[in-house]
A and B are shown apart, each in its own frame.
Chain A
Amino acid sequence: AQTVTQSQPEMSVQEAETVTLSCTYDTSENNYYLFWYKQPPSRQMILVIRQEAYKQQNATENRFSVNFQKAAKSFSLKISDSQLGDTAMYFCAFMRARDDKIIFGKGTRLHILP
């Protein structure tokens, strides 16, 4: 069975700083996808970034980037130049390629402080 672990329940950083959110996963699959979703106070689930396991290059979306270490089964999210609007719950998620069921971690609550 697949599992996703986010070891940081809550984090706080100052605005404009860089923050890294950790995520590890466990799977015997070779072909899968990893995601970071953001859930702001509005409760909407917003896709932040996606990584295909077969790609060695780390995904980047503007201020958001990942450090994907396949052998270590690690998938951390780096937020650069953090903004107040980044305050949210962040979920790491895993999806194996042969079905579309997403497994979510418990989430990391991130506070960006002014």
Chain B
Amino acid sequence: DSGVTQTPKHLITATGQRVTLRCSPRSGDLSVYWYQQSLDQGLQFLIQYYNGEERAKGNILERFSAQQFPDLHSELNLSSLELGDSALYFCASSGPTGGSPTDTQYFGPGTRLTVL
């Protein structure tokens, strides 16, 4: 158990809908990262937040957005869903309080999103 929690575990929805994925980082970690794992694209970095602020952006679509709240949990919002958005979405956290933000990332169990 990495200490990172993600909810829900599975999500099934229809095209055009909007969903929210939730992540709670390890206790004390300030950074949260979101990744998408799909069969055709592999594992791709989407976005990173550090202590509530966006720090780095990867291949994140404009239909997707994220935020990190004062209690450091994060949410990834996916809207106008398409069939191709079906994937496993991972959250990872790193950076214990006071430490460098460049630290090992520990992954949550993932949320499997199926868009029908």
Contacts and interface: CB of A to CB of B under 8 A. Distances in A.
Interface of A: 33, 35, 37, 42-47, 50, 91, 95, 97, 99-107
Contact of B55 (A50, A91, A99, A104): A99
Contact of A43 (B45, B101, B110): B110
Contact of A47 (B48, B90, B106, B109): B106
A44 B45 CA distance: 16
A107 to B, nearest CB: 7
B90 A103 contact: no
Contacts of A107: 42-43
Given A43-B112, A46-B2, A103-B45, 17 more contacts: A43-B88, A44-B2, A44-B109, A45-B92, A46-B107, A100-B31, A100-B33, A100-B56, A100-B101, A100-B102, A100-B105, A101-B45, A101-B58, A102-B35, A102-B105, A104-B43, A107-B42
Interface in B91-108: 92, 94, 101-107
Given A91-B43, A100-B101, A43 B48 contact: no
Given A100-B56, A104-B43, A107-B42, A50 B104 contact: yes
Enumerate the 5 nearest inter-chain pairs by beta-carbon distance, A residue then B residue, closest first: A45-B107, A104-B43, A101-B45, A99-B56, A101-B56
Nearest to A98: B102
B42 A104 contact: yes
B45 A33 contact: no
B107 A95 contact: no
B14 to A, nearest CB: 23
Contacts of B105: 47, 100, 102
B68 to A, nearest CB: 14
A111 B109 CA distance: 22
Contacts of A44: 2, 107, 109-110
Given A99-B55, A100-B31, A101-B58, A47 B42 contact: no
A100 B104 contact: no
A106 B43 CA distance: 8
A50 B103 CA distance: 10
